[in-house]
Amino acid sequence: MKMSFSALDIAHGMIADHVKPGDICIDATAGRGRDTAFLCSLVGEGGRVTAFDIQPDAVASTNALLAEQGYGGIGRAVLDSHANIDRYEQNGTVSCIVYNFGWLPGGDHNVFTLADSSIESLSKALELLMPGGMISMCIYYGKQNGFEERDRLMEFLEGLDHRRFSSYVGSFVNRPNCPPITAFILKDK
């Protein structure tokens, strides 16, 4: 039996245990749409998934993948910053919000998430979560502003009110070359 042990596998395992049919979810960083499609498979026809990206190529790729996999009626990608997620869903209604911080897979490494908009988005995401809701983060760093974003995200997680949220951070401490970090926030019930 092959056991996979990547940051994405860990995140998907936690997400699959958390998201239920009919839930509302957000993919805050659409990328190529794989997480968006994964969320759609979990929420089913009674649920809804909205994905965000500032790159037209990422939005087109995500919407094409959703259509190809039969999820066009469940999920959609919009061309907008994840800092604007509060314009698309109401506070207290979202089950799971997924982030992959870094750059578009196979895309221009000069275009990447930035600490300021990421922190703004996370602050809004906390309010969008329903009680018991979860935020999943994979933090890819090592390019240009990646270290600053990683450090600011860690400060954000450490500063969360422990009476309202639980935060967890995991890292592959024995892997070289800036291994990705997984982090989760659970909103108390």
Q: How far apart, in whole angstroms, are the C-alpha atoms of residue 97 and residue 49? A: 10
Task: Going residue by residue through the chain, which has 189 residues, state the pLDDT in tens, using 9 for 90 and above.
Answer: 456 688 889 999 999 999 999 999 999 999 999 999 999 999 999 999 999 999 999 999 999 999 999 999 999 999 999 999 999 999 999 999 999 988 766 666 667 788 899 999 999 999 999 999 999 999 888 766 678 888 999 999 999 999 999 999 998 888 888 888 999 999 998
Q: What is the pTM of this model?
A: 0.93
Query: What's phi and psi for 32, nearest 5 deg?
Result: -95, 0
pLDDT of the residue at 115 = 86
Residue 34 is assigned to a structural domain of this protein: yes
pLDDT of the residue at 102 = 83
Residue 143 is assigned to a structural domain of this protein: yes
Which amino acid appears at position 17 of this protein? D
Q: Give the residue numbers spanning the domain of 167.
A: 7-187
Residue 1 is assigned to a structural domain of this protein: no
pLDDT of the residue at 142 = 77
Distance, CA of 183 to chain centre: 10
> What's the domain count of the chain?
1
Q: How far apart, in whole angstroms, are the C-alpha atoms of residue 29 and residue 21? A: 22
Q: Residue 171: beta bridge partners?
A: 181
CATH of residue 137's domain is 3.40.50.150
pLDDT of the residue at 143 = 66
Residue 94 is assigned to a structural domain of this protein: yes
Residue 2 is assigned to a structural domain of this protein: no
